[in-house]
Every structure is written in C-alpha cells, then in structure tokens.
Amino acid sequence: MTIAVDKRTAVGLLVPLLVGALVMVGLGVYGRLHTPTGFAVGPAGFSGALAMKAWLTTGAFLLAIVQVVSALSMWGKLGVTIPAWVHRWSGRVAFLLTVPVAFHCLYALGLQYDVPRVLVHSFLGCFFYGVFAAKMLALPRKGLPGWSLPLLGGAVFVALVGLWLTSSFWFFTTIGVQF
C-alpha cells in the first residue's frame, strides 16, 4: 500500500514536528545540564511539593479524558454532540495545570536517570511538551492529512497518561492520598 503525500502537506506537517522535537530535546538538555535547586514552586495549600504535583497532574489527567471524549464528539464518533468550547477549555486548563508541575520537575529536580520509573517519567515529560507544541502548531494549518491531529492528540493523551502513572498513581499507591 502506498500513501501519496504532496510536498506542501509534508512540509506543513514537518515544521510542527521539527519544532516539537526541538522543544522535547531542549527540555531534556536543560533538565540534564541544569543544577537542580531542590525547590521551585511553593505547594500552596498542599502538604508538600509531591502532593501538589500529584493532584495537579491528576486534574490534568481527568481533563485529558474530557479531551478525548470531546474530540471523539467533534469528529462525529459519538452519538452526542459536545460543544467545541468544552474541548478547547478543558485542554487549556489541563495544560495550565501541568505548568507548575513541569517547572518544579525541571528546575528543582532536573532530568533524572537513576531510577527507571523516574527516567521514564522524565522522558515522558519532555515528550509531552514536544508533542503538545507540535499539535498546537499543526492546528491552524490547512491541508494536513486527516490522521495528523488525531495522532498528535492521541500522543499528547498517551504521554499524559504515562506521566500520571509514573507520578500521581505512584504517589497515591506508595505514599498515600495526601493533600
């Protein structure tokens, strides 16, 4: 089976993917070269930084589920119509919830590789922001293949699920549910 892709379509998708790759690599390099400070963001209302990160990531994870359901609705895959603003706003809020978590992880802890769970988590964090950047840059582009946005959105979702499993789920099952 051969898939025909014209040059303009390939270049239109290549630019967001290259920028996403640069974001991913840039975050990884910064996280590895930056000397961790041990502290970055105050846990405002939480018992500590780990609890804050676990709950904010859980909020982003739950909103990511809303993202998948609303995207399926927008693509006509459900028997119900969910307004497009639900998809846009759940995505915005989910992304905003990840920002203090990522800042704390990168600035206070850096990219770590001593523990396999933490290594996977570090790579998933870099991948999440890289593929998110690629998706946001691909959104306004006309003429992209129909599979590109669902694929990028699915990759964002899978990365966030992986981040949640390697952080919040680990925290709640190892340390316990704390606020």
Number of Cβ within a 10 Å radius of residue 2:
4
Report the alpha-carbon distance of residue 135 to residue 133 in Å, rounded: 5
User: Where residue 44 falls among pLDDT bands split at 50, 70, 90?
Assistant: confident
Does residue 56 register a pLDDT over 90?
yes
- Whole-model pTM: value is 0.88
What integer is the mean pLDDT of 162-172?
94
65 Cβ contact list (under 8 Å, min separation 6): none
Does residue 45 register a pLDDT over 60?
yes
Report the alpha-carbon distance of residue 92 to residue 7 in Å, rounded: 32
Q: What are phi and psi of 91, to 5 degrees?
A: -70, -45
pLDDT at 72 (0 to 100): 92
| Ranges 52-66, 71-85, 148-162: which has the least confidence | 71-85
pLDDT in tens, 11-26: 789 999 999 999 999 9
Number of Cβ within a 10 Å radius of residue 73:
18
Length of the chain: 179
The tokens describing 72, both together, are 């399926």
